[in-house]
Amino acid sequence: MEEIVSLCKRRGFIFPGSEVYGGLAGTWDYGPLGLMLKRKVEESFWRTFVESRTDMYGVDAAILMNPKVWVASGHVATFADPLIEDKENQKRYRLDHLLEDAGVDVKGMTLEQMRALITEKKIKSPDGNELGEARLFNMMFTTHVGPVADDSSIAYLRPETAQGIFTNYKNIVDTLYPDLPFGIAQVGKAFRNEISPRDFVFRSREFNQMEIEYFCDPKDWEKLFEEWVAGFHSWLESLGLPKDKTHDLEVPDEDRAHYSKRTIDIEFDYPVGRKELMGIAYRTDFDLMNIQKASGKNMEYTMKGTNEKLIPHVIEPSIGTERLIMAIMCSAYVEEGEGEKRRAVLKLPEELAPYRFCVSPLLKNKPELVSRAREVFAELKAKYGNVVWDDNGNIGKRYAKQDEIGTPKCVVIDFETLEDGTITVRNRDDASQVRVKVAEL
Ligand code: ATP
């Protein structure tokens, strides 16, 4: 994990947020390479689950929403984590995390049961002090809309993108008349005031979600649920996550939200342990019913042909971009070879690699090589866009750098190029080299 965090920073993938001012816990900034990777991951999601299907629609809702949304969804009342305070220095911790760190399986436990265990097992704070009372802490960030900061102007930064989908369900039904089943997808920011952000970007306070609400006739949910689980597994595999590192956790009754009849968490074996990468939940008609009650607007769908009316049920796949990027980086990163040949390589799928080609002249101080290399670079850049120029250091150093950032092919222009028009193409994954004509690239 440390190697990956260090690579992310050293090579311009992910930096700690506001680092120049000492940082802000739980926030991260994407550097140039990380941003390219993030865009490619989110584009892949969109291509796979929206563009390549005929039953999917996209939305991009506002982050700030009417606070009634979060009352109706239950977030104001219940979107909370258990918090416990160090009695001496008032530092705050996630109660369940302290117990998990002590080897306790907290699944299904109430706040009181967890607090009792802290006493029973004599668990102290990480600073070795007594722990105080436990309470639930609501994770929504609040702000005020407009110039007056009072209770009537409170708004929340959305803790999930899903509600922006539900609130637009009716708009999409009325404007696009989709056949049931159909789905709405959204990719965007979500904010959670996590008590203790940790494990790099895994638990951040500001992160991106890729979410789908798939609306269906309740009689079909079981089959569709299985299809979504299978669909996500094959997508994750296509992004390089090994099959044996992803696991379906059938969330037990006591841990599931009361309205969900079935939830599967797809977990990934991160270097920091097996943890939730994403969730797929059958949410029944809970959300649309709540909106109907709270807004007084009819959320029924009229079946084409029969005119039968029903409130669709929903299957919700939800995945965080950062948790996925972390899983992709962990899957792609390998250290191989011995002695001088030892190297660190990011074996990203070609479609995700920030740069597709790196172009360089063998020697930087030979104008004839540089000018030919510049021509090849310009041609590739015009064709592919994500092509990088590198003439720093010696060729070995360049290869090492491109291996670390996952560039699949390095193209080198040397003296032979000037004679016969061939160039060296070096392959990232096995360090093999071939000579091809420029036109064959
Ligand atoms: P956890 O139990 O790990 O806090 P959760 O069950 O609360 O996660 P959901 O509410 O199901 O998470 O959110 C859907 C997805 O959003 C998660 O599976 C994860 O990929 C992502 N996600 C949730 N919280 C965070 C966070 N703090 N930082 C990064 N990604 C997150």
Concatenating the DSSP letter of every residue in 245-291 gives: GEEEEE--GGGS-TT-SEEEEEEEEETTEEEEEEEEEEEETHHHHHH
pLDDT given for residue 439 in this prediction: 85
Can you read off the two tokens belonging to residue 235? 């997508």
> Tokens 């092509």 map to which residue?
387
Do 100 and 114 meet the contact criterion of CB atoms below 8 Å apart?
Answer: no
186 or 259, higher pLDDT: 186
> Tokens 């060729």 map to which residue?
395
The model's confidence at residue 81, banded by pLDDT at 50, 70 and 90, is: very high
How far does residue 299's CA lie from ligand 1's centre (Å)? 28
How far does residue 125's CA lie from ligand 1's centre (Å)? 25
CA 373 to CA 119: how far, in whole Å? 69
Do 250 and 229 meet the contact criterion of CB atoms below 8 Å apart?
Answer: no
Hey, CA dihedral for 151, 152, 153, 155, is it positive or negative? positive
Strands 343-346 and 262-270: unpaired
Do 144 and 155 meet the contact criterion of CB atoms below 8 Å apart?
Answer: yes
Residue to mutate, 276, 318, 322, ligand 1, most ligand atoms under 8 Å from C-beta? 276
Strands 357-361 and 387-389: parallel
Q: What is the pLDDT of residues 216-226, one digit of tens each?
A: 999 999 999 99
The model's confidence at residue 149, banded by pLDDT at 50, 70 and 90, is: confident
Sequence-distant (6+) residues with CB within 8 A of 113 are: none
pLDDT given for residue 408 in this prediction: 97
Cα-only R_g, the chain: 26
Q: Which atom of ligand 1 is nearest to the CA of 209?
A: 16
How far does residue 320's CA lie from ligand 1's centre (Å)? 7
CA 253 to CA 260: how far, in whole Å? 9
**Does the pLDDT of residue 429 top 90, yes or no?**
yes
Q: Whose CA is closest to atom 25 on ligand 1?
A: 203
DSSP state of 24: -
How far does residue 284's CA lie from ligand 1's centre (Å)? 20
Do 81 and 99 meet the contact criterion of CB atoms below 8 Å apart?
Answer: no
Please, what is the average pLDDT of the chain?
Answer: 95
Q: Which atom of ligand 1 is nearest to the CA of 197?
A: 27
Q: What is the pLDDT of residues 288-316, one digit of tens each?
A: 999 999 999 999 999 999 999 999 999 99
CB-based pocket (< 6 A), ligand 1: 192, 194, 203-204, 207, 209, 276-279, 318-320, 322-323
Q: How far is CA 408 from CA 55, 56, 352, in A?
A: 34, 33, 10
Strands 142-144 and 154-156: antiparallel
Residue to mutate, 97, 194, 203, 262, ligand 1, most ligand atoms under 8 Å from C-beta? 203
Q: What is the pLDDT of residues 378-389, one digit of tens each?
A: 999 999 999 999
Residue to mutate, 259, 315, 318, ligand 1, most ligand atoms under 8 Å from C-beta? 318
308 by DSSP, 3-state: which?
Answer: coil
**One-letter amino acid identity for 349?**
P
Q: What is the pLDDT of residues 88-125, one digit of tens each?
A: 999 999 999 999 999 999 888 899 999 999 999 999 99
Q: What is the pLDDT of residues 193-250, one digit of tens each?
A: 999 898 999 999 999 999 999 999 999 999 999 999 999 999 999 999 999 999 999 9
DSSP state of 301: E
Can you read off the two tokens belonging to residue 185? 């997808």
**One-letter amino acid identity for 1?**
M
Can you read off the two tokens belonging to residue 409? 């092919």
How far does residue 48's CA lie from ligand 1's centre (Å)? 21
Cα–Cα nearest to 248, from 262, 260, 238: 262
**One-letter amino acid identity for 240?**
G
What ranges make up the beta strands (E) of 116-222? 131-138, 142-144, 154-156, 182-191, 206-216
Can you read off the two tokens belonging to residue 257? 């939200």
Q: Whose CA is closest to atom 20 on ligand 1?
A: 320
Q: Taking the CB of residue 399, how many other CB atoms lie within 10 A of it?
A: 21
Give backbone dihedrals phi and psi of 151, rounded to 5 degrees, phi first. Answer: -60, -30
Can you read off the two tokens belonging to residue 133? 């009372």
CA 182 to CA 163: how far, in whole Å? 17
Q: Whose CA is closest to atom 24 on ligand 1?
A: 203
How far does residue 309's CA lie from ligand 1's centre (Å)? 34
Residue to mutate, 207, 246, 260, 270, ligand 1, most ligand atoms under 8 Å from C-beta? 207
The model's confidence at residue 186, banded by pLDDT at 50, 70 and 90, is: very high
**Does the pLDDT of residue 270 top 90, yes or no?**
yes
pLDDT given for residue 107 in this prediction: 83
How far does residue 202's CA lie from ligand 1's centre (Å)? 8
How far does residue 56's CA lie from ligand 1's centre (Å)? 23
Cα–Cα nearest to 131, from 121, 141, 142: 121
